[in-house]
Amino acid sequence: MSLTAKDVAEIVRLLEESSFDELELESGDLKLSLRRGEGGVAPATVSREKTKVSEPAVVAAKPAPKGSAPTDPNAVDVPSPLLGIFYRAPKPGEAPFVEIGAKVEADTVIGIIEVMKLMNSVRAGVAGEVTEILAGNAGLVEYGEALIRVRPT
């Protein structure tokens, strides 16, 4: 994977709009570090290093998940698309949509978010294997809060 100037500009914009001061992005053999300084964001270092890791790892400029650091460094967060009540199963008493170890596709439903009796399906958005379940069943989740983690394949 390579980054164009446009990609970097887009990433800088994301950082500027976020509440974070630093962003690190690693993708394949590319590592990008951004730090906010006086007068906005300036790219600090862009380095390339040859590693055998081929799966992308993303540190998103999103509200930090409330749980611990990912147990699998290559896993990515699946953020909640809405504020609402998160349900892991289609109905009470039924089996959860996904458990740890489950294989998901981008369009696999991983849970439901209820907003005032309106049920919204949440999809994984990424293909891979579920490594962690972060959000509890029937609890309030915020917009952007990490619900589960998936190691992309």
Partner 1 sequence: MPIRRILIANRGEIALRILRTCQRLGIETVLAASEADLGSEPARLADRTLCIGPAPSAQSYLKPETIVQAALGSGCDAIHPGYGFLSERASLARLCEDEGVIFIGPTSAQIEAVGDKLRARAEAIAGEVPVAPGGPAASLEDAVAMGKEIGAPLLVKAVGGGGGRGMKLVEDLAELPQALSMASAEAGAAFGDERVYLERFVSRGRHVEVQVLGDGAGRVIHLGERDCSVQRRYQKLIEETPAPGLSDDFRAAIRAAGVRYAERLDYRGAGTVEFLVDLDRQAFYFLEMNARIQVEHPVTEEVSGVDLVAEQIAIAAGEGLRLAQADIRLQGAAIECRINAEDPSQGFQPSPGTVREARWPSGEGIRVDTHIVSGSRVPPYYDSLMAKIIAHGADRAEALARLRKAIAETHIEGIKTNLVFHAEVLADPEFEAGGMDTGFLQRFFGRKAALAEA
| Smallest separation (angstroms) from partner 1 to the CB of 63 | 6
- Is position 42 an interface residue for partner 1 (rule: CB under 8 A)? no
User: How far is 92 from 153, CA to CA, in rounded Å?
Assistant: 31
Q: Which stretch binds partner 1 (CB under 8 A): 48-56, 65-73, 91-99, 138-146?
A: 138-146
Site for partner 1 in 1-20 (CB under 8 A): 17, 19
User: How far is 70 from 72, CA to CA, in rounded Å?
Assistant: 5
Selection from 108, 148, 107, 103 nearest residue 128 by Cα: 103
| Smallest separation (angstroms) from partner 1 to the CB of 128 | 25
> What does the block give as tokens for 55?
């799966």
User: How far is 140 from 58, CA to CA, in rounded Å?
Assistant: 25
- Is position 22 an interface residue for partner 1 (rule: CB under 8 A)? no
| Smallest separation (angstroms) from partner 1 to the CB of 141 | 9
| Smallest separation (angstroms) from partner 1 to the CB of 111 | 15
> What does the block give as tokens for 35?
């730090």
- Judge whether 110 and 78 are in contact, CB under 8 Å: yes
Residue from the set 67, 96, 144, 152 that interacts with partner 1 by CB under 8 A: 144
- Is position 115 an interface residue for partner 1 (rule: CB under 8 A)? yes
CA distances from 51 to 26, 151, 153 (A): 11, 18, 17
Residue from the set 145, 147, 150, 151 that interacts with partner 1 by CB under 8 A: 145
Site for partner 1 in 78-97 (CB under 8 A): 82-85
- Is position 119 an interface residue for partner 1 (rule: CB under 8 A)? no
